[in-house]
């Protein structure tokens, strides 16, 4: 049948016309049908502007668009381009000089994927969700002319992109000048080894001998080695902003190179990393919920814990400072590791912490060991961010959503989603935690936020071992946003204190919120967190933590859950008592 069709066509059209008709519909891979779309997709230009080597590549790709894909398989693409050019040379369409020049030209691919634009990772997340829905409802997402309403706010997305770009440009430069591959040779060689074994060319090699040849060729190919090195030292990022009342994802940046979208990994939804100190709010939430006030003191002294494998471990504070007792408020503000460990041992039992984290939306496995207090259990950035939304939303969890409504081409609603709020914490506990996390921003480890953003906000930094992961999750009364910054290969890491969450991640948060709240077209209200009924402010004795008498020498104000007000100070009960030396040892309240 095809032969007959071809004959009929040949009678009516010239060869050139047939060729151009064919080129108008032929498949060039990655969803591109026709030469014009292919030119746009791969070279970001019109077909009429293509150079000779570019045209030759696209023609060569027709044989098997995926096999000769210039993005996944640049070497194969160069080889097939050369085949086409050589045919043209043999047919006398090219001179030797033209041939030589074209064959040595770089591929020059400027991949402009269909998913690029403001929020490619968000769009891809929507596409993947639609594909799942398609099975359920039996629609074809590419042909049925569906209209999909999403939760994305394009204005907020612009600010997210800008904040990430601006911060990472500077950070990448700084990192590149400090990271030393000579000191990390073994990481580089194992990364190259892995990249070669993942390469389809290696995979396709038929015999062990052929594989060995491919292996050695790639290993000594400086272009290949450079590309691995560059990928290894690229700072990655996941940024997400959610409206905690509705769960709507308002902005999402899935990677640092989101513009090319060559690399589809979404670092908001598809990675699991240790949160470090960004996990501590779950510990302190349990303590507060169990009736311990922010003024409760714990010893800031080294503590040794037994690890799951039976080894002993003595965690350090990041700044290495120990001494005396500190309040829960200050321990969170300055992110003191040993106090978080003592809290989980003394006032916030491990199983309760796990239970609270799960209730607040963490679905990843949290092993029942004290080390989780400083964030050794991996989490997904989206879930951690959403969990902080519970504090912003007065104890109510609304799980993140990103598709509002799907309509068919006639405007019939196929599916729509509505927020499902669940109360998971008391208003009082949520507010007390917010007030403690205000301290993190105001003078604590997250104070770089204040270089950009001045309105009421709260949050927590996180940093993991060897500066492999930097986190900041924070919120205003209206929005919660979380940022993870790190490397895809977590053996690559920041080299000094610039890898702390407060420096590597928090500035992105500040820049983003400044942009959003300054933009009148978005119209975010300027409000403060509201102290709810059931939370009271009281003056307490700084020494005993109990309600102050007129004789207490140092007084501070603190907020309390009204249910758990401390008793009146019983040390300073008369004018002379303020001179009595305070008892040693741990003091409750
Ligand atoms: Zn007192």
Residues 510-553 pLDDT 10s: 999 999 999 999 999 999 999 999 999 999 999 899 999 999 99
pLDDT for 13 equals: 57
The CA 579 to ligand 1 mean position distance, Å, reads 11
Phi and psi at residue 241, to the nearest 5°: -125, 130
Domain boundaries along the sequence of the chain: 2-103, 188-231, 236-518, 535-579
SS3 content of the chain, % helix, strand, coil (to 5): 45, 15, 40
The CA 38 to ligand 1 mean position distance, Å, reads 77
* Start-to-end C-alpha separation, the chain: 89
Flag the least confident range among 51-60, 115-124, 232-241, 469-478.
Answer: 115-124
Across 134-149, average pLDDT: 78
Confidence of residue 11 (pLDDT cuts 50, 70, 90): low
Mean pLDDT of the chain: 89
- 76 vs 240, residue with greater confidence: 240
Query: Residue 589: pLDDT above 50?
Result: no
The CA 475 to ligand 1 mean position distance, Å, reads 35
Flag the least confident range among 3-7, 202-206, 449-453, 481-485.
Answer: 3-7
Contacts of 130 (CB under 8 A, 6+ apart): 141, 146, 148, 403, 406
What class is the 236-518 domain? alpha beta
Confidence of residue 411 (pLDDT cuts 50, 70, 90): confident
Rounded to whole angstroms, the Cα distance separating 279 from 353 reads 10
The CA 300 to ligand 1 mean position distance, Å, reads 22
Q: Which residues surround the ion ligand 1 when the cut-off is CB under 5 Å?
A: 541, 544, 552, 569, 571-572
How many residues are recorded in the chain?
A: 589
The CA 547 to ligand 1 mean position distance, Å, reads 7
Query: Residue 178: pLDDT above 90?
Result: yes
The CA 563 to ligand 1 mean position distance, Å, reads 21
**Residue at token pair 């050369």:** 82
Query: Residue 246: pLDDT above 70?
Result: yes
pLDDT for 401 equals: 96
Domain 2-103 architecture: Orthogonal Bundle (1.10)
The CA 551 to ligand 1 mean position distance, Å, reads 7
Rounded to whole angstroms, the Cα distance separating 46 from 561 reads 66
The CA 290 to ligand 1 mean position distance, Å, reads 24
Query: Residue 587: pLDDT above 50?
Result: no
Rg (CA), the chain: 30
CA–CA distances in Å: residue 64 to residues 27, 59, 70, 270: 9, 10, 11, 30
pLDDT for 201 equals: 79
CB 428 within 8 A of CB 561: yes
Tell me whether domains 2-103 and 236-518 share a fold.
no
The CA 570 to ligand 1 mean position distance, Å, reads 7
Confidence of residue 588 (pLDDT cuts 50, 70, 90): very low
Confidence of residue 202 (pLDDT cuts 50, 70, 90): confident
């Amino acid at each position: 049948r095809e032969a007959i069709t071809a004959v009929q066509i040949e009678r009516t059209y010239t060869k050139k016309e047939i060729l151009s008709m064919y080129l108008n519909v032929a498949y060039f891979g990655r969803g591109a049908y026709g030469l014009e779309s292919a030119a746009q997709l791969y070279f970001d230009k019109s077909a009429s502007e293509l150079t000779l080597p570019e045209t030759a590549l696209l023609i060569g790709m027709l044989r098997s668009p995926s096999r000769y894909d210039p993005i996944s398989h640049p070497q194969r693409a160069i080889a097939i381009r050369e085949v086409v050019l050589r045919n043209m040379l043999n047919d006398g369409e090219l001179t030797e000089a033209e041939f030589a020049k074209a064959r040595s030209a770089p591929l020059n691919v400027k991949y402009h994927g269909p998913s690029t634009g403001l929020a490619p990772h968000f769009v891809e997340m929507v596409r993947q969700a639609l594909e799942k829905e398609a099975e359920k409802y039996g629609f074809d997402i590419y042909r049925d002319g569906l209209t999909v309403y999403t939760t994305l706010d394009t204005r907020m997305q612009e600010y997210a992109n800008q904040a990430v770009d601006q911060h990472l440009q500077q950070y990448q430069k700084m990192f590149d000048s400090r990271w030393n591959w000579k000191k990390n040779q073994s990481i580089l060689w194992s990364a190259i080894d892995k990249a070669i074994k993942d390469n389809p060319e290696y995979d396709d090699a038929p015999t062990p001998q052929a594989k060995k040849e491919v292996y050695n060729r790639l290993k000594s190919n400086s272009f290949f080695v450079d590309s691995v090195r560059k990928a290894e030292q690229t700072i990655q990022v996941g940024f997400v902003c959610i409206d905690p009342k509705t769960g709507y994802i308002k902005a999402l940046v899935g990677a640092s190179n989101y513009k090319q979208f060559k690399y589809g990994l979404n670092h908001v939804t598809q990675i699991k990393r240790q949160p470090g100190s960004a996990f501590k709010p779950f510990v302190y939430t349990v303590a507060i919920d169990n009736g311990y006030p922010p003024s409760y003191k714990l010893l800031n002294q080294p503590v040794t814990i037994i690890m799951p494998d039976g080894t002993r471990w003595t965690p350090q504070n990041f700044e290495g400072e120990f001494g005396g007792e500190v309040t829960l408020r200050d321990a969170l503000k300055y992110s003191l590791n040993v106090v978080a460990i003592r809290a989980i041992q003394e006032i916030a039992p491990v199983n309760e912490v796990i239970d609270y984290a799960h209730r607040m939306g963490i679905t990843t496995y949290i092993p029942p060991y004290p080390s989780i207090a400083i964030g050794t259990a991996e989490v997904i950035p989206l879930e951690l961010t959403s969990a902080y939304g519970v504090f912003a939303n007065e104890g109510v969890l609304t799980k993140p959503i990103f598709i509002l409504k799907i309509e068919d081409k006639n405007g019939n609603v196929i599916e729509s989603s509505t927020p499902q709020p669940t109360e998971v914490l008391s208003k009082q506990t949520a507010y007390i935690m917010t007030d403690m996390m205000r301290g993190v921003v105001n003078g604590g480890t997250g104070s770089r936020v204040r270089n950009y953003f001045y309105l009421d906000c709260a949050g927590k930094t996180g940093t993991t071992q060897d500066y492999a992961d930097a986190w900041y999750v924070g919120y205003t009364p209206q929005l919660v946003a979380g940022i993870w910054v790190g490397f895809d290969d977590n053996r690559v890491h920041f080299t000094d204190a610039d890898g702390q969450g407060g420096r590597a991640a928090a500035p992105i948060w500040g820049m983003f919120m400044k942009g959003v709240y300054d933009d009148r077209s978005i119209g975010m209200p300027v409000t403060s967190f509201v102290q709810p009924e059931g939370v009271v402010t009281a003056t307490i004795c700084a020494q005993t933590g109990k309600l102050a008498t007129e004789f207490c020498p140092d007084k501070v104000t603190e907020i309390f859950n009204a249910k758990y007000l401390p008793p009146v100070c019983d040390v300073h009960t008369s004018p002379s008592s303020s001179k009595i030396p305070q008892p040693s040892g741990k003091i409750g309240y």
